[in-house]
DNA sequence: GCTCGCCATGTCAGTCGCTGTCATCGCTCC
DNA sequence: GGAGCGATGACAGCGACTGACATGGCGAGC
């Protein structure tokens, strides 16, 4: 694959994670990352669009998994499109929570790096926003109205964000799936009494 | 205020908006913005943290207004903290929608610039995320549980994002307040049937 | 087994966002 | 009208990112 050793991309990712964790994102230059990976700065930018993106490479796979779940969801055949839409999004995130995410320890270290740096937080919420937009698009394709689709996607994504945050902060080491289910359940309690 | 003409900050903002709209964000350098405003590049960065921030200067005021609404909300005295929390957030956004935002034409132009440039979209969602986090903090201070506070803030903010998007895209020139109310009402229909 | 061509990487030069530092200017207060 | 102060200018420099071209490895085809 590479001119020398293989796996250039994952070597770059590993080097970046290590350096970001050791000395912080700002105090790490792309040249240093490349050097540790045995490559050049120019090659780094051939594998990652920018210095932040190296931490968010898995995002497309997560998005694809969520879209597939919703695209194939049996919940969306009904007339009650709105509630079914949210249920389908919630189910998709439950699948992802069970299958997709790395061990909590890795996620914790990654999150420490992100939490210490505003530009990285910006990228993270941007990724979630794109996921939300993509989910809304799929819901529309499956016949959900524009407004309901956008809201179901936003609410589901928001619940997942909350669940993920609580998971990495959880000292009791609960499962991500547990946190997601808890957040979805709590979300449902937010509505009825105020209608 | 300035060494020469007054209103340096708003001149910079105006110059930036004009240039971004005319030739695009990427094709505009900070030096060009400063020149059009009759200032230097260095002065631009004394007024705005970075090249994007010039489009998001009003965000702190919006956040302050929302926090004030929720802090003073009479809805949060009840036992049913969850539903009351969402209601308080929704009410805050309705107040903001009625009072705070500029005419739709200005918002439309601004949104065209943002929609044409991913880094600007990133900043925009980051601002909304910070607002959501701040709202969750206030809700916690007022006695709402951690999970319910975070979810009410996320859901309310998400509904507002959807409403705002539909407002600037609305060919019928509906009011922002109308869109916000519609989104909140639709959000409430997403839950019951699937509990 | 040799050559050709593709693709990943290296090299180099350049632009621009952004920052620190110090000088300078205008205004205000006394 | 001098002193102090806050905003601006001038300058130097770092680092992220890009475009253009050179170079090396590796497989396909002969």
For residues B155 and B173, membership in a common domain is answered with: yes
Q: How many domains does chain B have?
A: 2
Token output for A186: 């709590």
Q: With a 7 Å cutoff on the CB, does B31 touch strand C?
A: yes
The torsion angles phi and psi of A4, rounded to 5 degrees, stand at: -120, -110
**Is residue B1 a part of any domain in this protein?**
no
Instruction: Specify the pLDDT at position A192.
Output: 65
CATH number of the domain residue A20 falls in: 1.10.10.60
B-chain residues within 8 Å CB-CB of A122?
122-123, 125-126
- Quote the domain boundaries for residue B81: 56-194
C-alpha dihedral (A139, A145, A148, A153), degrees to nearest 10? 20
**Is residue A3 a part of any domain in this protein?**
no
For residues B180 and B87, membership in a common domain is answered with: yes
Distance from CA of B187 to the nearest CA of A (A): 6
Q: Using CA atoms, how far apart are residues B174 and B30, in angstroms rounded to an integer? A: 36
For residues B111 and B33, membership in a common domain is answered with: no
**Is residue A185 a part of any domain in this protein?**
yes
For residues A35 and A70, membership in a common domain is answered with: no
Q: Using CA atoms, how far apart are residues B35 and A13, in angstroms rounded to an integer? A: 40
CA angle B194, A195, B183 (to 5 degrees): 80
Q: What are the pLDDT tens digits along chain A (195 aa)?
A: 456 677 899 999 999 999 999 999 999 999 999 999 999 999 999 999 999 999 999 999 999 999 999 999 998 876 668 799 999 999 999 999 999 999 999 999 999 999 999 999 999 999 999 999 999 999 999 999 999 999 999 999 999 999 999 999 998 989 999 999 999 999 999 976 444
Model pLDDT for residues B77-115, shown as the tens digit of each residue: 766 687 999 999 999 999 999 999 999 999 999 999 999
Q: Using CA atoms, how far apart are residues B157 and B153, in angstroms rounded to an integer? A: 6
Listed in sequence order, the DSSP H helices in A37-145 are 41-47, 59-71, 81-99, 104-115, 118-141
For residues B49 and B33, membership in a common domain is answered with: yes
Q: Using CA atoms, how far apart are residues B14 and B17, in angstroms rounded to an integer? A: 5
**Is residue B18 a part of any domain in this protein?**
yes
**Is residue A186 a part of any domain in this protein?**
yes
Q: With a 7 Å cutoff on the CB, does A122 touch strand D?
A: no
For residues B102 and B176, membership in a common domain is answered with: yes
For residues B24 and B117, membership in a common domain is answered with: no
For residues A47 and A82, membership in a common domain is answered with: no
Token output for A158: 């928001």
Instruction: Specify the pLDDT at position B173.
Output: 86
For residues B22 and B82, membership in a common domain is answered with: no
Q: Which residue has the tokens 């929570």?
A: A97
The distance of Cα A182 from the centroid of its chain, to the nearest Å, equals 18
Residue of chain A whose alpha carbon sits nearest to that of B90: A194
Q: Measure, in angstroms, how far nucleotide C10 C1' is from residue A27 CA.
A: 25
Q: Measure, in angstroms, how far nucleotide C3 C1' is from residue A37 CA.
A: 33
**Is residue B88 a part of any domain in this protein?**
yes
User: Taking 80 as the threshold, does the pLDDT of residue B53 lie above it?
Assistant: yes
Token output for A86: 């949210």
Domain closes at, from A54, A71, A88: A54
Q: Using CA atoms, how far apart are residues A125 and B164, in angstroms rounded to an integer? A: 18
Q: Give residue B129's pLDDT band: very low, low, confident or very high (50, 70, 90).
A: very high
For residues A45 and A119, membership in a common domain is answered with: no
For residues B113 and B146, membership in a common domain is answered with: yes
Long-range contacts of residues B136-143, Cβ cutoff 8 Å, at least 24 apart: B138/B67, B138/B70, B138/B71, B139/B70, B139/B76, B139/B85, B139/B88, B139/B89, B141/B71, B142/B70, B142/B71, B142/B73, B142/B76, B143/B76, B143/B81
CATH number of the domain residue B136 falls in: 1.10.357.10
Residue in A132, A148, A158 closest to B190 by CB: A148
Closest C-alpha among A43, A40, A37, A25 to residue A117: A25
- Give me the DSSP letters along B2-21: -SSSS-HHHHHHHHHHHHHH
Q: Using CA atoms, how far apart are residues B111 and A20, in angstroms rounded to an integer? A: 34
Cα–Cα distances (Å) from B142 to A51, A170, A193, B12, in that order, read 40, 23, 19, 40
For residues B175 and B90, membership in a common domain is answered with: yes
**Is residue A189 a part of any domain in this protein?**
yes
Q: Give residue B6's pLDDT band: very low, low, confident or very high (50, 70, 90).
A: confident
**Is residue B22 a part of any domain in this protein?**
yes
């Amino acid at each position: 694959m590479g001119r020398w050793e293989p796996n250039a991309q994952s070597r770059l990712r590993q080097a970046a994670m290590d350096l970001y964790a050791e000395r912080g994102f700002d105090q790490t230059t792309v040249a240093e990352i490349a050097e540790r990976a045995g490559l050049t700065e120019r090659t780094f930018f051939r594998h990652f669009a920018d210095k932040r993106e190296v931490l968010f490479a898995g995002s497309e796979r997560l998005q694809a998994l969520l879209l597939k779940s919703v695209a194939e969801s049996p919940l969306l055949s009904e007339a009650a499109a709105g509630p079914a839409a949210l249920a389908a999004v919630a189910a998709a995130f439950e699948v992802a929570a069970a299958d997709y995410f790395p061990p909590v320890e890795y996620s914790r270290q990654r999150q420490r790096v992100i939490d210490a740096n505003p530009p990285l937080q910006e990228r993270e919420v941007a990724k979630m926003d794109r996921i939300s937009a993509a989910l809304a698009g799929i819901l529309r394709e499956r016949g959900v109205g524009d407004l309901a689709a956008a809201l179901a996607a936003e609410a589901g994504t928001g619940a997942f964000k909350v669940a993920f945050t609580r998971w990495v902060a959880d000292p009791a080491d609960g499962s991500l799936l547990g946190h997601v289910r808890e957040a979805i359940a709590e979300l449902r309690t937010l509505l009825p009494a105020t209608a």
